[in-house]
A and B are shown apart, each in its own frame.
Chain A
Amino acid sequence: MWGAILLGAAGCYVLKLAGLSVPQRLLDGVKVQRVANLLPVALLAALIATQTFGEGIDARAAGLAAAALALLARAPFLLVVATAAATTALLRLVT
C-alpha cells in the first residue's frame, strides 16, 4: 500500500511539474487538448458507474439519485455527499 501511495504521489507531482517545464508546443495539439479535457469526464463517470452499480442495483443507487437532486438544487459539496450517505443509510435501515 505504501509503495502505491508513494508511486501515485510521485507520478502526480511529476505531471504537475511537467506542465511547468515542457515546451508549450508539445501540448498545443488539438487532439492532445481534446483527450485531456474529456479524460477526467470519462474517468469520473466510470468511477460513479462501477462504484454504484458494479455489484448490481442496491441502496447506493438511491443515494446517488439523491445526490443528483442535491446538485440540481445547487447544494454545497458536503451537503451533496451527506445526502447520498444519509439516503443510502436510511434505506438500509428500513429494508
Chain B
Amino acid sequence: MKPIVRDALGIGAATGAAGLSYGALAVAAGLTVPQACALSLLMFTGASQFAFVGLVGSLPAAVGTALLLGARNGLYGLRLKPFLARRALAAQFVIDESAAMSVRPTAAETRLGFWATGLSVFAFWNLATFAGAIAGTALSDPRALGLDAAGPACFLALLAPKLREAEPRRVAALAALAALVSVPFVPAGVPVLVAAAVAALAALGGRRESRGGTAPHVAGDAGLTPSAVEAGGHRLSREGV
C-alpha cells in the first residue's frame, strides 16, 4: 500500500472517532438518526455540522454559522483547482483533511492525496455518525453523561491548533467575550453571529494598523501565505475533524 493511502486511512479512522461524538451529540440535540446521517452525507464538513447541531434551537443561526464555518473549504478549493477534474464531484470532498493531505510535490501525488483522504474520511465519518447516532438514541438523559459538555470540548479541540499565534488568540478572546455579552439581548444562536461580525471588523481594523509594518511582518502576522493555510490544515487533521 502506498504511504499516502495508508496515511489517508489513518486520518479517516481518527475522524471516525469524532464522527461518533458528532452522531451522539446530534441526537442529543434533538435530531433524528436519519437527520444526523443526512448532515454527514450532504453537508460533510465537521465543524459546520457540530455548530449546526449545537444551535438547532435557532435554525437560521444554525444554518448561518454552518455556512460561515464552511467558507474556509472554498479557500482550500482555490489551491486545489488546477489539480482536480470533475469539479462537481470533487467539490464535496474538499475538507480540512483532504486539503492538508494534498500538499504534495507532484500533481499525481496531489490528486492521490486528495482523493484517498477525501474518500477515506467520507467513509469513516458517515459510518461513525450512524453508529454514534444509534448509541445516542439509547441514552435517556444526555446531561447525565455530560454530553452537553462534549460539544464545547469538540470545538476546543478544533480551535486549539489555531491558537499558537498571538492574533488568533486575541480574536478568539474578543469573540468569546462579544458572544457572552450579547447573550441576554438577542435570540439563541445569534450571539455567535454577533461574535463573527465583531471579529471580522477587528480583523479588518488590524489590517489597517499593520500597514505601517514591514511586509514580512504583515504576511507572517496574518498567516496569509498558502503554506500557512496548508500548515493549518495539517495541524487540524491531527485533531481528527
In the complex, which residues of chain B have a beta carbon less than 8 angstroms from the beta carbon of A11?
A: 63, 66-67, 70
Interface residues on chain A, number (Cβ under 8 Å): 69
Decide yes or no: A40 and B69 within 8 Å by CB, A1-B35, A1-B56, A92-B143 being known contacts. yes
User: How many interface residues does chain B have, given as a range?
Assistant: 35 or more
Q: Tell me whether B213 is interfacial, beta carbon within 8 Å.
A: no
B178 → A minimal CB distance (Å): 7
Q: Which residue of A lies closest to B158 (CB)?
A: A44
Q: Tell me whether B1 is interfacial, beta carbon within 8 Å.
A: no
In the complex, which residues of chain A have a beta carbon less than 8 angstroms from the beta carbon of B194?
A: 46
Main secondary structure of the interface of B (DSSP, over half): helix
Residue contact B146 to A92, C-beta cutoff 8 Å: yes
Q: Tell me whether B65 is interfacial, beta carbon within 8 Å.
A: yes
A12 to B76, CA, bound (A): 13
Residue in A22, A52, A87 whose CB lies within 8 Å of B146? A87
Residue contact A46 to B81, C-beta cutoff 8 Å: no
Residue in B18, B68, B173, B176 whose CB lies within 8 Å of A77? B18
Residue contact B156 to A63, C-beta cutoff 8 Å: no
Residue contact A85 to B90, C-beta cutoff 8 Å: no
Residue contact A47 to B152, C-beta cutoff 8 Å: yes
In the complex, which residues of chain B have a beta carbon less than 8 angstroms from the beta carbon of A24?
A: 78, 81
Q: Tell me whether A21 is interfacial, beta carbon within 8 Å.
A: yes
Residue contact B176 to A80, C-beta cutoff 8 Å: no
A74 to B106, CA, bound (A): 32
Residue contact B145 to A76, C-beta cutoff 8 Å: no
A13 to B39, CA, bound (A): 12
A80 to B86, CA, bound (A): 37
B159 → A minimal CB distance (Å): 4
In the complex, which residues of chain A have a beta carbon less than 8 angstroms from the beta carbon of B180?
A: 49-50, 53-54
A15 → B minimal CB distance (Å): 5
Q: Which of B18-59 contact A (CB under 8 A)?
A: 18, 20-21, 31, 35, 38-39, 42-45, 47-48, 50-52, 54-56, 59
In the complex, which residues of chain B have a beta carbon less than 8 angstroms from the beta carbon of A31?
A: 203-204, 207
5 contacts between A and B (CB under 8 A): A4-B56, A5-B38, A12-B45, A16-B77, A88-B149
